[in-house]
Amino acid sequence: MSAKQTPNINFLGIDAGGTFTDFVLFNGQTWRIHKVLSTPENPAAAILQGIEELGLEKLLVTHQLVITHGSTIATNAALERKGARTIYITNTGFKDVLTIGRQARRELYNLNPPIIEPPVPEALCLEIDCRRDANNNVIKALEEAQLDQLEQQVEALQPEAIAINLLFSFLDERDERAIETRLAKYAFVSRSSFVLPVYKEYERGMATWLNASLGPKVEQYMLTLKNQLKSAAVSVMQSSGGTISIEQASKRAVNLLLSGPAGGLAAVKQISRHTGIDKILSFDMGGTSTDVSLMDGDFRLSEEGTINHWPVAVPMLDMETIGAGGGSIAWTDTAGLLHVGPHSAGAQPGPACYGLGGRMATVTDANAVLGRLQPEAFLGGSMSLDLDAAQKAMTKLGKSQHLDADAMAHGIIELAEQQMSAALHNISVKQGHNPAAFTLCCFGGAGGLHVCSLAERLGMRSALVPRNAGVFSALGMLCAEEKRSLSKSHICLLNDVTNAQLTTWFKELADQALSELTQPSDSIDNEQPMRIEKRLDLRYAGQSFSLDIAYGENLEDAFIQHHKDRYGHQLPLPVELVNVKVEVIGQAKIESLETINQTSPAKQAKPINNRLRRSGNEQIAVYNRDELAVNQCIRGPAIITETASTTWLKSGWRLQMDALGNLLLKKS
């Protein structure tokens, strides 16, 4: 079975990126792909445009369209610090926790570090005189008079959002709930016992503040989108790689910070199942940024993510993002040094070769000047490229470096690839993995243009370009499972915990996750079986950091071995339980790529389209990917075009297409 068997239902995956918004439509038998330029000022406009161009308006009204959406609205708001005016409420004496943080310096040896703006201005940090201790004993009870005073302060400040973070609220949420009930009429309210009920008040407070700060914008966007999409069932991708209903997403903005990139990793997992390749370095290069991650059997979840140097302690796929994409602008500083990114030409005006008014040279323009992008084949011919404009932009920048247009284009690509290979190095070598043992899987509209060079830089000899790699994240939205990941702190020695206690704690979290997962808006079919995965965060007593261990027999032995594998030693100390974690996982809308990727026998029999196009001093063969035969071997240099992306096969590399349409690349 390749998809949920529901009659006349169409599944639509949408990835709203910084340059393009991608669509993948699957009706249970066939699929279609589509791209439109994004509308960053109103992301919903590009979504509605794509739905109209795909002719899906009628399906919105007839309940025949199920949508999974990857959104960048939370990410962009956080990066640009365009969150809501937010009040932070905590216990008396602790209002400066978010400002002080962990007192970690970004530049250890800089004697004149720049002044860092605190997350919340001091005037918006409020205190309330109540307190519980680490054993949940009440030291100072919350009284009505204190709530009255707090309400008056909030009313005077007129916030757009409120974050509540009381000490040890993960042990007892009643005080936070009482504050939320009193203040909900004034603004969007986020409490730590809902967002992240775990210990460490700074990390918990930052997650709660981010959720509150981003909440009003995300909530307005989600509810507006749901209204505009009428009767369609809509779910949203989370940073953890699972989907969540649009209603719940509107309350959990902090869980959406990697919403778009997470979609591509869900599709990579499907590719891994079909190809049998379980060691993959993923490389997602879009128009604005590049995201890299490592899969060794599965992708790793991290609770130590950051955005704008702020910790994000909610579960996120372990991923590194850099500001180097196809639309990244090349520029020179006052010393004449060349830089690429992080600023992007975006969708408007876009790279110069888009012909929409862009004047600055970008990575895409560099590839166009070198003949690696075919003007007549770009986006399947639906958007032509202005090579003259790209040449002018490259020539203008080249004058400052005393280089001609071709040499300047090579320099831009060289610099961009250095940045991308550094990110891949960080996610692999710095975590103890040898890239040579992995396959580089590239996707995104620009990924195929750089896959061979990046593999060479990392000493890798194999790579994989999935079919329709240019819309791979949108496809991943449909491959992602419905998921809820919940955790709660229970700090005690592991030997002091009974199996009965663990069973009770797991059940409490599982019941909550199941109740959220089975809401009608989450799925058109709530009868499907769900699986529950149980994990624990363990550490040696006295340590600050913990390791994630799957629940099972011999937990202490498993932790000791994992600690030895990670750090090379063990300690003569008792093992301590920190967090209990549960993940409830439902069904994906597409469970197999076989149906949508299978190449028909008629297509296999078609001859290869072989044309010549001059690039520098080389004659380059150009192939149409849809006309390639299964198991056909091509040797570089060559260009393989398809509707949503292009693959540049360097000299010294060969490729072969498998039965599912994936291009398998090998270094000769």
Structural domains of the chain, ranges and CATH numbers in brackets: 10-78+220-256 (3.30.420.40), 81-215 (3.40.50), 328-415 (no CATH), 485-588 (3.30.1490)
pLDDT at 598: 44
CB 540 within 8 A of CB 575: yes
Mean pLDDT of 376-395: 83
Task: For residue 105, give the 3-state DSSP assignment.
Answer: coil
Nearest 5 degrees, angle CA 343-CA 379-CA 239?
Answer: 55
pLDDT at 594: 60
pLDDT at 78: 85
Taking the CA atoms of 296, 301, 306 and 311 in sequence, report the sign of the dihedral they define.
negative
What would the pLDDT profile of 86-117 be if each residue is shown by its tens digit? Answer: 999 999 999 999 999 988 777 788 888 888 88
- Cα 79 to Cα 204: distance, rounded to the nearest angstrom: 19
Residue of 585 and 192 predicted with greater confidence: 192
Q: How many residues does this entry show for the chain?
A: 668
Axis crossing angle, helix 259-275 with helix 472-479, rounded to the nearest 10: 80
Residue of 303 and 604 predicted with greater confidence: 303
- Cα 467 to Cα 658: distance, rounded to the nearest angstrom: 10
What would the pLDDT profile of 642-654 be if each residue is shown by its tens digit? Answer: 888 899 999 999 9
pLDDT at 617: 58
Checking if the pLDDT of 186 tops 90, the result is: yes
Tokens standing for residue 78: 């956080």
pLDDT at 602: 42
Checking if the pLDDT of 510 tops 70, the result is: yes
pLDDT at 381: 65
| Band of pLDDT at residue 248, cut at 50, 70 and 90 | confident
Checking if the pLDDT of 525 tops 80, the result is: no
**Does residue 349 have a cis peptide bond before it, meaning omega lies within 30 degrees of 0?**
yes
pLDDT at 518: 61
User: Which of 410, 457, 373, 640 shows the shortest CA–CA distance to 440?
Assistant: 457
- Cα 119 to Cα 114: distance, rounded to the nearest angstrom: 15
Sheet containing 481-493: give its strands across: 31-37, 20-26, 10-16, 65-70, 233-237, 243-245, 481-493, 575-588, 531-540, 547-550
| Band of pLDDT at residue 622, cut at 50, 70 and 90 | confident
Taking the CA atoms of 297, 298, 301 and 307 in sequence, report the sign of the dihedral they define.
positive
Neighbouring residues of 603: CB distance < 8 A, sequence distance ≥ 6:
626, 627
Please report the beta strands in 444-568, taking only residues with DSSP state E, as ranges in sequence order: 462-465, 481-493, 531-540, 547-550
What would the pLDDT profile of 68-90 be if each residue is shown by its tens digit? Answer: 999 888 887 887 788 999 999 99
Over pLDDT 90: what percentage of the chain? Answer: 53
User: Which of 559, 582, 585 shows the shortest CA–CA distance to 570?
Assistant: 559
Mean pLDDT of 253-267: 89
If you average pLDDT over each of 287-296, 375-384, 489-498, which comes out highest?
Answer: 489-498
CB 317 within 8 A of CB 239: yes
| Band of pLDDT at residue 6, cut at 50, 70 and 90 | low
| Band of pLDDT at residue 2, cut at 50, 70 and 90 | very low
Tokens standing for residue 299: 């992708």
Residue of 594 and 310 predicted with greater confidence: 310
Q: Which residues of 491-503 are buried (b: 16+ CB within 10 A; e: fewer)?
A: eeebeebeeeebe
- Cα 358 to Cα 349: distance, rounded to the nearest angstrom: 5
What would the pLDDT profile of 117-173 be if each residue is shown by its tens digit? Answer: 899 999 999 999 999 999 999 999 999 999 999 999 999 999 999 999 999 999 999
pTM of the model: 0.83
CA dist list (Å): 8 to 58, 257, 270, 325, 501:
12, 33, 24, 38, 47
- 263: left (phi > 0), else alpha (psi -120 to 50), else beta? alpha
| Band of pLDDT at residue 596, cut at 50, 70 and 90 | very low
Checking if the pLDDT of 192 tops 90, the result is: yes
Mean pLDDT of 524-550: 84
Mean pLDDT value across the chain: 87
| Band of pLDDT at residue 30, cut at 50, 70 and 90 | confident
Checking if the pLDDT of 324 tops 90, the result is: no
Mean pLDDT of 321-329: 85
- Cα 405 to Cα 83: distance, rounded to the nearest angstrom: 42
